[in-house]
Amino acid sequence: MGPLIVVVAALGALLLFFATKAGGATVKEPVPKGTGGNTLDGIINSNAARYGVEVALLKAVIRTESNFNAGAVNPASSGNAFTSYGLMQITPILGQEYGIVKEYQNVTEPEISMLMQPETNVRIGAWYLGRLLSKYPFDAAIQMYNLGETGYNSGRRNEDYLTKVKRYYNEYKPD
């Protein structure tokens, strides 16, 4: 069933791409219904408040990670513990740290489905981002979200990622 998730995610991304191009406008944040019936804005707002992360920053990270595609799967790392899923591109490793996944080396299809649910995905992402922001300076925390703390601490950097998040963050910040 793993390849099915990749196919569904790819089809969703293509549909989003063509819908965006056909309408001539940039799709910033579709508002899908989550499994609990909450809008994406409601999910973002409640988790921003719960974990002390600005709403604008959560939206910026979601836009950078998945362009608001709840079915997004990172194809660069498909098939291992570093595969990332959903709006905030949550890995099974992070899912295990949060308590959703039992063993990240043997993640199950039901656990993957849980990680992809908007409520769960944004909750884990906001929790992790809030934790990073409480321990590190803004720029480091944002890059750690993308690279992981170990990756960042080993000298890896992703300046393009940081630039995108900051640009979107400034777009979403209230005047």
pTM metric for this prediction: 0.78
What's the full length of the chain, in residues? 175
Structural domain boundaries enclosing 76: 2-172
Determine contact, residues 64/70, Cβ cutoff 8 Å.
no
CB 29 within 8 A of CB 69: no
* CATH number, residue 133: 1.10.530
Give the pLDDT score at 77. 62
**DSSP 3-state assignment of 18?**
helix
Q: Which amino acid is at 38?
A: N
Number of structural domains in the chain? 1
Round to the nearest angstrom and report the end-to-end CA distance of the chain.
Answer: 45
Neighbours of 166 (CB within 10 A): 16
User: pLDDT for 58-94, tens place per residue?
Assistant: 999 999 999 999 999 987 666 677 899 999 999 999 9
Residue 20 CB-density burial (10 A; 0-12 exposed, 13-18 middle, 19+ buried): middle
Q: From first to last of its 175 residues, what are the pLDDT tens digits of the chain?
A: 444 443 334 334 333 333 333 333 233 333 344 445 589 999 999 999 999 999 999 999 999 999 999 999 987 666 677 899 999 999 999 999 999 999 988 889 999 999 999 999 999 999 999 999 999 999 999 999 999 999 999 999 999 999 999 999 999 998 7
**Residue written as token pair 């990270």:** 61
Euclidean distance between CA atoms 95 and 82, whole angstroms: 11
Cβ 17 vs Cβ 95: under 8 Å: no
Asked if residues 80 and 2 have their Cβ atoms less than 8 Å apart, the reply is no
Cβ atoms of residues 50 and 25 within 8 Å: no
